[in-house]
């Protein structure tokens, strides 16, 4: 079947009034943006609680669907046949030829689900259901009606034009990016943080990111890996401004002045402070990390409290209750896993102590940080000033 139009279904229940049109407009923008990368000429239009994508000339069906499946806010993608209203006889013919082409010689049960957005149509929905059902039964002896559990739900929507479809390909769900502000993702080269970014973007939040590297202890390839992960998240979230912070001097200074078992916690506190600086500067309403309770020493409840202590913005940790395998499953689903497991060094693991504290005491940590007072402000200032911003699409 040569489909020329997709009907886009989105969650309609939760969105009413003014929010509804903001949601729809954002969704239309996100769809247009996602289709820019796909070869072909597409028109996205909004009509009476529906969004349609029209395809002109050559386009690749699978590529188009897979681009649409990355747009948050879409719950279903229906390839539709569109026809004009030339009377009911003609419609019945088109419906029969649709069923013949999509399900050739198939033994199946079906049900017709007609909707009239145009109330002046000469038949009621019930009549359309019955009469189209009969036309299909007459044409295909193999097909039977089952109104309770049909294998095929044949939808016929009568609007200005008439839309026939029976396939709903699953969408990504969530809310269109841009409907819920922006947040700053602490993005490392691991498995967890790209998943965390994906999950928050799914709720309609725009994403910026910050990555701390420690050259020459961490390589350019480690940095490239983070850029690649940002690109993967950006397929869902839209463009990401990635801040690459040179963290080496701060790490070396902490290493020189503070007890080594507290190094990771103190380092994480400086990461949060710097991330928060860029968050404020870019109108972000929160920070995002890939932390999950108890996963490593720096993610015990005490450690999370110690890290959180330096933040004034809310810190969103969407993986907080996830087991590692559950995180891996999402990572695989969003195609980040293969990149995440590439074996490059991470600034957190290079300076890590053999026996890091697992239950840091906040007062002790604060006192250790006082030992940094001579140079730390200057080092943080320099790190911020020398930060490189890369926009990834």
- The CB-nearest residue to Mg ion is 190
> What are the residues binding ligand ATP (CB under 6 A)?
186-188, 190-193, 210-212, 271, 289-291, 295-296, 298-299, 346-348
Q: Which is nearer to ligand ATP, 64 or 188 (CB)?
A: 188
Q: Which is nearer to ligand ATP, 28 or 347 (CB)?
A: 347
Q: Which is nearer to ligand ATP, 208 or 346 (CB)?
A: 346
Tell whether omega for the bond before 216 is within 30 degrees of 0, i.e. cis: yes
Cβ at position 363, least distance to ligand ATP in Å:
22
Cβ at position 185, least distance to ligand ATP in Å:
7
Q: How many residues bind Mg ion (CB under 5 A)?
A: 2
Q: Which is nearer to Mg ion, 110 or 316 (CB)?
A: 316
Q: Which is nearer to ligand ATP, 28 or 263 (CB)?
A: 263
Cβ at position 257, least distance to Mg ion in Å:
24
Euclidean distance between CA atoms 210 and 24, whole angstroms: 30
**Phi, psi at residue 204, to the nearest 5°?**
95, 10
Q: What would the DSSP string read from start to end of 153-190?
A: EEEEEESSSEEEE---EE---SB-TTSS-EEEEE--SS
Cβ at position 252, least distance to Mg ion in Å:
20
Compute CA distances 153 → 67, 84, 165, 226, 296, whole Å. Answer: 25, 21, 8, 44, 49
Using CB under 5 A as the binding rule, whether residue 307 contacts Mg ion is answered as no
String of contacts with Mg ion for each residue 179-218, x by CB under 5 A: ---------x-x----------------------------
Cβ at position 389, least distance to ligand ATP in Å:
14
Cβ at position 324, least distance to Mg ion in Å:
12
Cβ at position 191, least distance to ligand ATP in Å:
5
- The CB-nearest residue to ligand ATP is 190
Euclidean distance between CA atoms 265 and 360, whole angstroms: 8
Cβ at position 190, least distance to Mg ion in Å:
3
Q: Which is nearer to Mg ion, 109 or 358 (CB)?
A: 358
Q: Which is nearer to Mg ion, 301 or 350 (CB)?
A: 350
Radius of gyration of the chain (CA): 27
Euclidean distance between CA atoms 232 and 248, whole angstroms: 26
Q: What would the DSSP string read from start to end of 238-290?
A: --EEEEEEE-HHHHHHHHHHS-GGGHHHHHHHHHHHHHHHHHHHTT---EE--
Q: Please report, to the nearest 10 degrees, the dihedral formed by the alpha carbons of residues 335, 337, 341, 345 taken in order.
A: 70
Q: Which is nearer to Mg ion, 174 or 190 (CB)?
A: 190
Alpha helices, H only, the chain: 17-35, 61-68, 88-102, 125-139, 192-202, 220-237, 248-257, 263-281, 301-308, 324-333, 337-340, 347-350, 362-370, 376-385
Euclidean distance between CA atoms 183 and 209, whole angstroms: 8
Interface with Mg ion (CB under 5 A): 188, 190
């Amino acid at each position: 079947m040569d489909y020329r139009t997709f009907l886009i279904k989105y969650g309609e229940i939760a969105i009413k009034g003014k929010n509804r049109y903001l949601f729809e407009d954002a969704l239309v923008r996100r769809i247009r943006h996602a289709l820019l990368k796909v070869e072909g000429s597409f028109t996205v239009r909004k009509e009476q609680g529906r969004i349609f994508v029209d395809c002109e000339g050559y386009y690749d069906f699978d590529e188009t669907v897979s681009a649409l499946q990355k747009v948050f806010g879409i719950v279903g993608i229906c390839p539709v046949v569109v026809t004009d209203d030339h009377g009911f006889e003609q419609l019945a013919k088109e419906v029969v030829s649709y069923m013949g082409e999509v399900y050739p010689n198939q033994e199946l049960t079906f049900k017709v689900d007609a909707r009239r957005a145009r109330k002046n149509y000469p038949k009621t929905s019930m009549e359309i259901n019955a009469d189209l059902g009969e036309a299909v039964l007459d044409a295909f002896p193999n097909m039977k009606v089952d109104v309770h559990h049909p294998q095929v739900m044949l939808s016929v929507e009568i609007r200005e034009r008439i839309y026939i479809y029976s396939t709903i390909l699953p969408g990504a769900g969530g809310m269109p990016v841009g409907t819920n502000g922006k947040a700053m993702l602490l993005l490392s080269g691991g498995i967890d943080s790209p998943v965390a970014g994906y999950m928050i973007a799914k709720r309609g939040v725009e994403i910026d990111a910050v990555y701390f590297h420690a050259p020459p202890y961490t390589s350019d390839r480690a940095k490239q890996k983070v850029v690649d992960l940002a690109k993967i998240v950006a397929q869902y979230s839209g463009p990401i401004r990635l801040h690459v912070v040179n963290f080496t001097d701060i790490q070396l200074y902490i290493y020189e002045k503070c007890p080594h078992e507290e190094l990771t916690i103190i380092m994480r506190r400086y990461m949060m402070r710097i991330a928060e600086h860029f968050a404020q500067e870019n109108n972000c309403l929160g920070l995002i990390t890939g932390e999950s309770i108890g996963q490593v020493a720096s993610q015990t409840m005490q450690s999370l409290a110690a890290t959180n202590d330096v933040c004034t913005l809310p810190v969103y940790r969407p993986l907080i209750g996830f087991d590692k395998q559950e995180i891996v499953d999402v990572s695989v689903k969003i195609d980040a896993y293969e990149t995440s497991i590439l074996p490059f060094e991470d600034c957190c693991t290079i300076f890590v102590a053999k026996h890091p504290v697992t239950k840091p005491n906040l007062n002790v940590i604060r006192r250790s940080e006082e030992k940094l007072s001579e140079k730390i402000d200057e080092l943080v200032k320099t790190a911020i000033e020398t930060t490189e911003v890369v926009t990834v699409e």
